[in-house]
Structure 1
Amino acid sequence: MSVLPLVFTSGWASGINAYAVVLLLGIFGATGLTDEVPESLQRTDVLIAAGVLFLCEAVADKIPYVDSVWDSVHTVVRPVAGAVVGALLAGQSGSLSDLAAGAVGGSTALMSHFVKAGTRMAINTSPEPFSNVAMSTAEDLGVAGIITFAMFNPQAAAIIAAVLLVLGLVILLFLAHRIRRFLRRRAQRREERRLAATGAARDAAPPD
Protein backbone atom coordinates (compact mmCIF):
# COMPACT_ATOMS: atom_id res chain seq x y z
CA MET A 1 0.00 0.00 0.00
CA SER A 2 1.29 3.49 -0.85
CA VAL A 3 2.62 5.50 2.07
CA LEU A 4 1.85 8.81 0.32
CA PRO A 5 -1.38 9.53 2.27
CA LEU A 6 0.46 9.10 5.57
CA VAL A 7 3.33 11.28 4.33
CA PHE A 8 0.91 14.03 3.31
CA THR A 9 -1.01 13.87 6.60
CA SER A 10 2.14 13.86 8.73
CA GLY A 11 3.46 16.80 6.68
CA TRP A 12 0.31 18.82 7.32
CA ALA A 13 0.45 17.99 11.03
CA SER A 14 4.19 18.77 11.22
CA GLY A 15 3.49 22.30 10.03
CA ILE A 16 1.32 22.76 13.11
CA ASN A 17 3.22 20.79 15.75
CA ALA A 18 6.19 18.80 14.49
CA TYR A 19 7.16 17.54 17.93
CA ALA A 20 3.71 16.03 18.50
CA VAL A 21 3.94 14.22 15.16
CA VAL A 22 7.34 12.70 15.96
CA LEU A 23 6.19 11.75 19.47
CA LEU A 24 2.93 10.15 18.32
CA LEU A 25 4.45 8.26 15.41
CA GLY A 26 7.24 7.00 17.65
CA ILE A 27 4.78 5.82 20.29
CA PHE A 28 2.55 4.12 17.72
CA GLY A 29 5.53 2.34 16.24
CA ALA A 30 7.03 1.34 19.59
CA THR A 31 3.74 -0.09 20.82
CA GLY A 32 3.28 -2.15 17.65
CA LEU A 33 0.17 -0.29 16.50
CA THR A 34 1.71 0.12 13.06
CA ASP A 35 4.71 -1.18 11.15
CA GLU A 36 4.88 1.93 8.95
CA VAL A 37 7.03 3.86 11.47
CA PRO A 38 10.81 3.43 11.13
CA GLU A 39 12.84 2.38 14.16
CA SER A 40 14.71 5.70 14.16
CA LEU A 41 11.52 7.44 15.33
CA GLN A 42 10.92 4.81 18.01
CA ARG A 43 14.24 5.31 19.82
CA THR A 44 13.96 6.26 23.47
CA ASP A 45 16.16 9.35 23.12
CA VAL A 46 14.06 10.59 20.18
CA LEU A 47 10.83 10.08 22.12
CA ILE A 48 12.20 11.87 25.19
CA ALA A 49 13.47 14.82 23.13
CA ALA A 50 10.20 15.06 21.23
CA GLY A 51 8.23 14.90 24.48
CA VAL A 52 10.25 17.67 26.13
CA LEU A 53 10.03 19.92 23.08
CA PHE A 54 6.31 19.20 22.78
CA LEU A 55 5.82 20.40 26.37
CA CYS A 56 7.83 23.56 25.60
CA GLU A 57 5.66 24.24 22.56
CA ALA A 58 2.49 23.50 24.53
CA VAL A 59 3.39 26.37 26.88
CA ALA A 60 4.87 28.87 24.40
CA ASP A 61 2.07 28.33 21.92
CA LYS A 62 -0.57 29.57 24.36
CA ILE A 63 1.02 32.92 25.27
CA PRO A 64 0.14 35.96 23.11
CA TYR A 65 3.08 37.24 21.02
CA VAL A 66 5.35 34.51 22.42
CA ASP A 67 3.51 32.11 20.10
CA SER A 68 4.37 34.27 17.08
CA VAL A 69 8.04 34.42 18.09
CA TRP A 70 7.99 30.63 18.48
CA ASP A 71 6.39 30.30 15.04
CA SER A 72 9.08 32.52 13.51
CA VAL A 73 11.82 30.29 14.92
CA HIS A 74 10.03 27.21 13.59
CA THR A 75 9.60 28.49 10.03
CA VAL A 76 12.55 26.26 9.15
CA VAL A 77 12.12 23.56 11.80
CA ARG A 78 8.59 22.45 10.87
CA PRO A 79 9.11 22.03 7.09
CA VAL A 80 12.40 20.23 7.70
CA ALA A 81 10.69 17.94 10.21
CA GLY A 82 7.90 17.25 7.73
CA ALA A 83 10.43 16.42 5.02
CA VAL A 84 12.51 14.16 7.27
CA VAL A 85 9.49 12.29 8.63
CA GLY A 86 8.16 11.85 5.09
CA ALA A 87 11.48 10.50 3.84
CA LEU A 88 11.76 8.10 6.79
CA LEU A 89 8.22 6.81 6.24
CA ALA A 90 8.96 6.28 2.55
CA GLY A 91 12.20 4.48 3.33
CA GLN A 92 10.34 2.20 5.73
CA SER A 93 7.64 1.19 3.24
CA GLY A 94 9.66 1.24 0.02
CA SER A 95 6.56 2.32 -1.94
CA LEU A 96 7.69 5.89 -2.56
CA SER A 97 11.10 7.43 -3.15
CA ASP A 98 12.68 9.25 -0.22
CA LEU A 99 13.16 12.39 -2.32
CA ALA A 100 9.53 12.54 -3.42
CA ALA A 101 8.27 11.86 0.10
CA GLY A 102 10.53 14.54 1.53
CA ALA A 103 9.26 17.06 -1.02
CA VAL A 104 5.62 16.23 -0.24
CA GLY A 105 6.10 16.26 3.53
CA GLY A 106 8.20 19.41 3.57
CA SER A 107 6.04 21.48 1.23
CA THR A 108 2.83 20.46 2.99
CA ALA A 109 4.38 21.29 6.36
CA LEU A 110 5.51 24.69 5.06
CA MET A 111 2.01 25.59 3.86
CA SER A 112 0.29 24.50 7.06
CA HIS A 113 2.95 26.33 9.08
CA PHE A 114 2.16 29.57 7.24
CA VAL A 115 -1.54 29.04 7.97
CA LYS A 116 -0.82 28.48 11.67
CA ALA A 117 1.61 31.42 11.98
CA GLY A 118 -0.63 33.79 10.05
CA THR A 119 -3.68 32.86 12.08
CA ARG A 120 -1.79 33.55 15.30
CA MET A 121 -0.71 36.96 14.04
CA ALA A 122 -4.34 37.78 13.34
CA ILE A 123 -5.40 36.60 16.80
CA ASN A 124 -2.65 38.64 18.44
CA THR A 125 -4.09 41.89 17.12
CA SER A 126 -6.26 41.64 20.25
CA PRO A 127 -3.84 39.78 22.54
CA GLU A 128 -6.04 38.35 25.28
CA PRO A 129 -4.89 34.88 26.34
CA PHE A 130 -8.16 32.98 25.98
CA SER A 131 -8.24 32.87 22.19
CA ASN A 132 -4.61 31.74 22.08
CA VAL A 133 -5.24 28.96 24.59
CA ALA A 134 -8.37 27.82 22.71
CA MET A 135 -6.65 27.85 19.32
CA SER A 136 -3.53 26.09 20.59
CA THR A 137 -5.56 23.40 22.34
CA ALA A 138 -7.66 22.85 19.22
CA GLU A 139 -4.50 22.52 17.13
CA ASP A 140 -2.94 20.01 19.53
CA LEU A 141 -6.11 17.92 19.61
CA GLY A 142 -6.44 18.15 15.83
CA VAL A 143 -2.89 16.93 15.26
CA ALA A 144 -3.33 14.07 17.74
CA GLY A 145 -6.66 13.11 16.23
CA ILE A 146 -5.63 13.13 12.59
CA ILE A 147 -2.33 11.29 13.16
CA THR A 148 -4.15 8.64 15.17
CA PHE A 149 -6.84 8.37 12.49
CA ALA A 150 -4.14 8.09 9.81
CA MET A 151 -2.83 4.94 11.48
CA PHE A 152 -6.14 3.20 10.73
CA ASN A 153 -7.36 4.99 7.61
CA PRO A 154 -4.54 6.95 5.92
CA GLN A 155 -6.50 7.79 2.76
CA ALA A 156 -9.41 9.37 4.64
CA ALA A 157 -7.00 11.19 6.97
CA ALA A 158 -5.13 12.62 3.97
CA ILE A 159 -8.40 13.90 2.48
CA ILE A 160 -9.28 15.59 5.78
CA ALA A 161 -5.79 17.12 5.99
CA ALA A 162 -6.09 18.43 2.41
CA VAL A 163 -9.48 20.00 3.14
CA LEU A 164 -8.16 21.62 6.33
CA LEU A 165 -5.13 22.95 4.45
CA VAL A 166 -7.25 24.53 1.72
CA LEU A 167 -9.67 26.01 4.27
CA GLY A 168 -6.74 27.37 6.26
CA LEU A 169 -5.26 29.08 3.20
CA VAL A 170 -8.64 30.63 2.34
CA ILE A 171 -9.09 31.88 5.91
CA LEU A 172 -5.56 33.27 5.81
CA LEU A 173 -6.50 35.45 2.84
CA PHE A 174 -9.49 36.85 4.75
CA LEU A 175 -7.26 37.59 7.76
CA ALA A 176 -4.58 39.35 5.72
CA HIS A 177 -5.51 42.83 6.96
CA ARG A 178 -5.27 41.74 10.61
CA ILE A 179 -1.91 40.14 9.93
CA ARG A 180 -0.63 43.39 8.43
CA ARG A 181 -1.89 45.24 11.51
CA PHE A 182 0.02 42.82 13.74
CA LEU A 183 3.22 43.33 11.74
CA ARG A 184 2.84 47.13 11.88
CA ARG A 185 2.29 47.00 15.64
CA ARG A 186 5.36 44.81 16.13
CA ALA A 187 7.49 47.13 13.99
CA GLN A 188 6.21 50.09 16.01
CA ARG A 189 7.18 48.41 19.29
CA ARG A 190 10.65 47.69 17.94
CA GLU A 191 11.07 51.32 16.96
CA GLU A 192 9.87 52.46 20.40
CA ARG A 193 12.37 50.15 22.10
CA ARG A 194 15.14 51.41 19.83
CA LEU A 195 14.33 55.04 20.59
CA ALA A 196 14.11 54.28 24.32
CA ALA A 197 17.50 52.56 24.25
CA THR A 198 19.01 55.45 22.30
CA GLY A 199 17.59 57.95 24.79
CA ALA A 200 18.87 55.94 27.77
CA ALA A 201 22.34 55.75 26.25
CA ARG A 202 22.31 59.51 25.60
CA ASP A 203 21.26 60.24 29.20
CA ALA A 204 23.93 57.95 30.59
CA ALA A 205 26.69 59.53 28.53
CA PRO A 206 28.97 61.91 30.52
CA PRO A 207 28.50 65.60 29.73
CA ASP A 208 31.06 67.25 27.48
Structure 2
Amino acid sequence: MSVLPLVFTSGWASGINAYAVVLLLGIFGATGLTDDVPASLQRTDVLIVAAVLFLCEAVADKVPYLDSIWDTAHTVIRPVSGAVIGALLAGQSGSLSDIAAGAIGGSTALASHFVKAGTRMAINTSPEPFTNVAMSIAEDLGVAGIITFAMFNPQAAAVIAAVLLAIGLALLIFLWTRIRRFLRRRAQRREEKRLASEARARTTAPPP
Protein backbone atom coordinates (compact mmCIF):
# COMPACT_ATOMS: atom_id res chain seq x y z
CA MET A 1 0.00 0.00 0.00
CA SER A 2 1.28 3.48 -0.83
CA VAL A 3 2.58 5.50 2.10
CA LEU A 4 1.82 8.79 0.31
CA PRO A 5 -1.41 9.54 2.26
CA LEU A 6 0.38 9.07 5.60
CA VAL A 7 3.29 11.24 4.42
CA PHE A 8 0.91 14.01 3.39
CA THR A 9 -1.10 13.82 6.62
CA SER A 10 1.98 13.74 8.85
CA GLY A 11 3.38 16.71 6.89
CA TRP A 12 0.22 18.73 7.48
CA ALA A 13 0.24 17.84 11.17
CA SER A 14 3.98 18.60 11.51
CA GLY A 15 3.35 22.14 10.32
CA ILE A 16 1.07 22.59 13.33
CA ASN A 17 2.85 20.58 16.03
CA ALA A 18 5.85 18.54 14.87
CA TYR A 19 6.64 17.27 18.35
CA ALA A 20 3.16 15.80 18.76
CA VAL A 21 3.52 13.99 15.42
CA VAL A 22 6.85 12.44 16.38
CA LEU A 23 5.50 11.46 19.80
CA LEU A 24 2.29 9.93 18.47
CA LEU A 25 3.91 8.05 15.60
CA GLY A 26 6.58 6.74 17.95
CA ILE A 27 4.02 5.53 20.47
CA PHE A 28 1.87 3.91 17.78
CA GLY A 29 4.90 2.09 16.40
CA ALA A 30 6.26 1.05 19.80
CA THR A 31 2.90 -0.36 20.89
CA GLY A 32 2.52 -2.34 17.67
CA LEU A 33 -0.50 -0.42 16.45
CA THR A 34 1.15 -0.01 13.06
CA ASP A 35 4.14 -1.39 11.18
CA ASP A 36 4.55 1.77 9.08
CA VAL A 37 6.54 3.69 11.70
CA PRO A 38 10.34 3.35 11.43
CA ALA A 39 12.30 2.14 14.44
CA SER A 40 14.16 5.46 14.71
CA LEU A 41 10.93 7.18 15.77
CA GLN A 42 10.20 4.50 18.37
CA ARG A 43 13.42 4.94 20.32
CA THR A 44 12.96 5.81 23.98
CA ASP A 45 15.27 8.84 23.85
CA VAL A 46 13.41 10.23 20.83
CA LEU A 47 10.06 9.79 22.59
CA ILE A 48 11.32 11.48 25.77
CA VAL A 49 12.72 14.49 23.89
CA ALA A 50 9.53 14.76 21.80
CA ALA A 51 7.39 14.62 24.95
CA VAL A 52 9.40 17.35 26.71
CA LEU A 53 9.32 19.62 23.65
CA PHE A 54 5.61 18.93 23.20
CA LEU A 55 4.98 20.11 26.77
CA CYS A 56 7.04 23.25 26.11
CA GLU A 57 4.99 23.96 22.99
CA ALA A 58 1.75 23.25 24.83
CA VAL A 59 2.59 26.10 27.22
CA ALA A 60 4.13 28.58 24.77
CA ASP A 61 1.36 28.04 22.25
CA LYS A 62 -1.30 29.35 24.64
CA VAL A 63 0.37 32.64 25.60
CA PRO A 64 -0.44 35.66 23.40
CA TYR A 65 2.58 36.97 21.44
CA LEU A 66 4.79 34.23 22.88
CA ASP A 67 3.01 31.84 20.52
CA SER A 68 4.00 33.99 17.53
CA ILE A 69 7.60 34.12 18.73
CA TRP A 70 7.53 30.34 19.08
CA ASP A 71 6.06 29.99 15.58
CA THR A 72 8.78 32.22 14.13
CA ALA A 73 11.46 30.06 15.74
CA HIS A 74 9.84 26.96 14.22
CA THR A 75 9.59 28.26 10.65
CA VAL A 76 12.49 25.96 9.76
CA ILE A 77 11.98 23.24 12.38
CA ARG A 78 8.44 22.23 11.36
CA PRO A 79 9.06 21.89 7.59
CA VAL A 80 12.32 20.03 8.23
CA SER A 81 10.50 17.72 10.65
CA GLY A 82 7.78 17.09 8.08
CA ALA A 83 10.42 16.29 5.45
CA VAL A 84 12.38 13.96 7.74
CA ILE A 85 9.27 12.13 8.93
CA GLY A 86 8.09 11.74 5.34
CA ALA A 87 11.46 10.35 4.23
CA LEU A 88 11.55 7.94 7.18
CA LEU A 89 8.03 6.70 6.46
CA ALA A 90 8.91 6.21 2.80
CA GLY A 91 12.07 4.31 3.70
CA GLN A 92 10.05 2.07 5.98
CA SER A 93 7.50 1.10 3.31
CA GLY A 94 9.61 1.29 0.16
CA SER A 95 6.58 2.40 -1.87
CA LEU A 96 7.80 5.99 -2.34
CA SER A 97 11.27 7.43 -2.82
CA ASP A 98 12.80 9.17 0.18
CA ILE A 99 13.41 12.37 -1.79
CA ALA A 100 9.82 12.57 -3.06
CA ALA A 101 8.43 11.82 0.39
CA GLY A 102 10.68 14.44 1.98
CA ALA A 103 9.57 17.04 -0.55
CA ILE A 104 5.89 16.25 0.00
CA GLY A 105 6.13 16.16 3.77
CA GLY A 106 8.28 19.28 3.98
CA SER A 107 6.22 21.41 1.59
CA THR A 108 2.94 20.38 3.23
CA ALA A 109 4.37 21.16 6.67
CA LEU A 110 5.58 24.56 5.44
CA ALA A 111 2.14 25.42 4.09
CA SER A 112 0.31 24.39 7.26
CA HIS A 113 2.92 26.18 9.38
CA PHE A 114 2.24 29.44 7.54
CA VAL A 115 -1.48 28.93 8.12
CA LYS A 116 -0.93 28.33 11.84
CA ALA A 117 1.52 31.22 12.28
CA GLY A 118 -0.59 33.63 10.25
CA THR A 119 -3.77 32.73 12.09
CA ARG A 120 -2.04 33.29 15.42
CA MET A 121 -0.82 36.71 14.32
CA ALA A 122 -4.40 37.62 13.45
CA ILE A 123 -5.66 36.28 16.80
CA ASN A 124 -3.01 38.30 18.65
CA THR A 125 -4.54 41.50 17.33
CA SER A 126 -7.22 40.89 19.98
CA PRO A 127 -6.22 41.74 23.57
CA GLU A 128 -7.96 38.79 25.24
CA PRO A 129 -5.99 35.52 25.75
CA PHE A 130 -8.86 33.04 25.64
CA THR A 131 -8.88 32.66 21.86
CA ASN A 132 -5.23 31.62 21.93
CA VAL A 133 -5.96 28.90 24.48
CA ALA A 134 -8.99 27.64 22.57
CA MET A 135 -7.12 27.61 19.26
CA SER A 136 -4.13 25.83 20.78
CA ILE A 137 -6.31 23.11 22.31
CA ALA A 138 -8.21 22.69 19.04
CA GLU A 139 -4.94 22.36 17.11
CA ASP A 140 -3.54 19.77 19.54
CA LEU A 141 -6.73 17.73 19.45
CA GLY A 142 -6.88 18.04 15.66
CA VAL A 143 -3.33 16.78 15.23
CA ALA A 144 -3.89 13.90 17.65
CA GLY A 145 -7.19 12.99 16.03
CA ILE A 146 -6.03 13.05 12.41
CA ILE A 147 -2.76 11.19 13.09
CA THR A 148 -4.67 8.51 15.00
CA PHE A 149 -7.26 8.29 12.23
CA ALA A 150 -4.45 8.02 9.65
CA MET A 151 -3.25 4.84 11.32
CA PHE A 152 -6.54 3.14 10.43
CA ASN A 153 -7.64 4.99 7.30
CA PRO A 154 -4.73 6.93 5.76
CA GLN A 155 -6.57 7.83 2.55
CA ALA A 156 -9.52 9.42 4.32
CA ALA A 157 -7.18 11.19 6.77
CA ALA A 158 -5.21 12.65 3.85
CA VAL A 159 -8.41 13.98 2.28
CA ILE A 160 -9.38 15.64 5.58
CA ALA A 161 -5.88 17.13 5.92
CA ALA A 162 -6.07 18.49 2.37
CA VAL A 163 -9.45 20.08 3.02
CA LEU A 164 -8.25 21.63 6.28
CA LEU A 165 -5.13 22.95 4.55
CA ALA A 166 -7.21 24.51 1.75
CA ILE A 167 -9.58 26.11 4.27
CA GLY A 168 -6.63 27.39 6.30
CA LEU A 169 -4.96 28.96 3.28
CA ALA A 170 -8.21 30.66 2.27
CA LEU A 171 -8.63 31.96 5.85
CA LEU A 172 -5.04 33.20 5.87
CA ILE A 173 -5.65 35.25 2.73
CA PHE A 174 -8.81 36.67 4.31
CA LEU A 175 -6.95 37.62 7.50
CA TRP A 176 -3.93 39.11 5.78
CA THR A 177 -5.08 42.68 6.46
CA ARG A 178 -5.16 42.06 10.21
CA ILE A 179 -1.82 40.29 10.06
CA ARG A 180 -0.14 43.25 8.30
CA ARG A 181 -1.60 45.60 10.90
CA PHE A 182 -0.22 43.38 13.65
CA LEU A 183 3.24 43.35 12.07
CA ARG A 184 3.23 47.13 11.73
CA ARG A 185 2.29 47.55 15.40
CA ARG A 186 4.98 45.13 16.51
CA ALA A 187 7.60 46.95 14.43
CA GLN A 188 6.41 50.25 15.90
CA ARG A 189 6.73 48.90 19.46
CA ARG A 190 10.27 47.72 18.76
CA GLU A 191 11.16 51.14 17.38
CA GLU A 192 9.63 52.87 20.42
CA LYS A 193 11.62 50.63 22.76
CA ARG A 194 14.81 51.38 20.85
CA LEU A 195 14.22 55.14 21.00
CA ALA A 196 13.37 54.95 24.71
CA SER A 197 16.54 52.96 25.37
CA GLU A 198 18.64 55.52 23.49
CA ALA A 199 16.98 58.35 25.40
CA ARG A 200 17.75 56.68 28.74
CA ALA A 201 21.32 56.12 27.66
CA ARG A 202 21.73 59.82 26.80
CA THR A 203 20.27 61.00 30.11
CA THR A 204 22.46 58.67 32.20
CA ALA A 205 25.65 59.27 30.25
CA PRO A 206 28.27 61.34 32.15
CA PRO A 207 28.89 64.85 30.83
CA PRO A 208 31.90 65.27 28.55
Aligned counterpart, 2:60: 60
Find the counterpart in structure 1 of residue 132 from structure 2.
Answer: 132
CA distance in structure 1 between the partners assigned to 2:200 and 2:34 by the alignment: 60
Aligned counterpart, 1:107: 107
Counterpart contact for 1:12–1:161, Cα < 8 Å: yes
Which residue matches 2:148? Answer: 148
Which residue does the alignment assign to 1:37? 37
Q: 2: distance between equivalents of 1:73 and 1:128?
A: 23
User: C-alpha distance in 1, partners of 2:129/2:10?
Assistant: 28
Letter in 2 for 1:141: L
Tell me the distance in 1 between the aligned counterparts of 2:52 and 2:129: 23
Separation in 2, partners of 1:133, 1:84: 29
Structure 2 residue aligned with 1:77: 77
Q: Normalised by the size of structure 2, how large is the TM-score?
A: 0.99
Provide the aligned length of Structure 1 versus Structure 2: 208
4+ long deviations beyond 2 Å = none
- What is the CA–CA distance in structure 1 between the aligned matches of 2:186 and 2:127, rounded to whole Å? 12
Provide the rounded CA distance (Å) in 2 between the counterparts of 1:32 and 1:196. Answer: 59
**Unmatched segments (≥5 aa) in structure 2:** none
**Deviation readout 1:35-74 (Å, 9 max, x if unpaired):** 0000000000000000000000000000000000000000
1:87 and 2:117 correspond: no
State the match for 1:97 in structure 2: 97
Give the equivalent residue in structure 1 for 2:168: 168
Indicate yes or no: 2:116 matched with 1:116: yes
Equivalent residues of 1:65, 1:127 under 8 A apart: no
Distance of 1:84 and 1:204 partners within structure 2? 52
Where 2:96 maps in the other structure, the secondary structure is coil
Tell me how far apart the structure 2 counterparts of residues 137 and 43 of structure 1 sit (CA, whole Å): 27
* Root mean square deviation of aligned Cα: 0.4
Question: Which whole-Å CA distance do the structure 1 matches of 2:129 and 2:23 have between them?
Answer: 27
SS across alignment from 1:78:
helix
Which residue identity lines up with residue 165 of structure 1 in the other structure? L
For structure 1, list consecutive stretches of 5 or more residues without a partner in the other structure.
none
Aligned to 1:194: 194
Q: Is the 8 A contact 1:125 1:178 kept in 2?
A: yes
Amino acid at match of 1:81: S
Counterpart of 2:205? 205
% same residue: 84
Aligned twin of 1:179:
179
For residues 132-188 of structure 1, the C-alpha deviation after alignment (integer angstroms, 9 at most, x for no partner) is 000000000000000000000000000000000000000001101100011011001
| TM superposition shift of 1:33 | 0.1
Counterpart of 2:36 in 1: which secondary structure? coil
CA–CA separation in structure 1 for the residues paired with 2:117 and 2:67: 8
The one-letter amino acid paired with 2:152 is: F
Question: Under a length normalisation based on structure 1, what TM-score does the superposition of the two structures give?
Answer: 0.99
Deviation at 1:127, TM superposition (A): 2.9
Aligned to 1:16: 16
